[in-house]
Amino acid sequence: MTLTSILPSLRASLPDPLDPTVWPAGTEATLDDVRVRAVSMQRLAAVAGTPCVHTAEQAPPRYRPRDWHPADVCVTVATVTRVRRPWGVAFVELDAVVPDCAVLTAARLIGRRSVAPAAEVTLTTNTTGTAGHEVLLPGDVAVGDLVCFPCVRSLAHRDVVAH
């Protein structure tokens, strides 16, 4: 539990911390963005459109063996296309397919500062919204918001595009 999860209003002046073992090497959080080796994920989404994928080098483990070599991992950015709240459950549809290698416990809202408390939502890519992945995002997630999450292996753009 972090200070920003206890007092969400602090997110206006203090970024949520990142788990360095999950994100690529050189990743840093800002108040409304994630930068990987000085590449802004918010700017990448603005230039390339969503969904988009940024490949980078894996962060070294805390205790690494001598024969360890970094693998390629990636960060995926997607746009929220629809939010539904039937029966008190929030279904958030993305314009990207959520891959199996995604670390959704580290999913973050980028592009704007939110001081709303974290809420459990279901990320989905299908229009019926019946199947998905449970994640914690700010409770005021809305259409047009950007969501980014790390993946433990390298992906191509075609792997995250919804057909």
Burial readout 25-59 (b: 16 or more C-beta within 10 A, e: otherwise): eebebeebbbbbeeebbbebbeeeebbbbbebebb
pTM > 0.75: yes
The larger pLDDT score, comparing residue 66 to residue 9, is at 66
93-128 per-position pLDDT tens digit: 999 888 889 999 899 999 998 888 888 998 887 655
31-65 per-position pLDDT tens digit: 899 999 999 999 999 999 999 999 999 888 878 78
DSSP string, 34-76: EEETTEEHHHHHHHH-SSEEEEEEBPPPSS--TT--PPEEEEE
Say how far apart CA 13 and CA 31 lie, in whole Å: 7
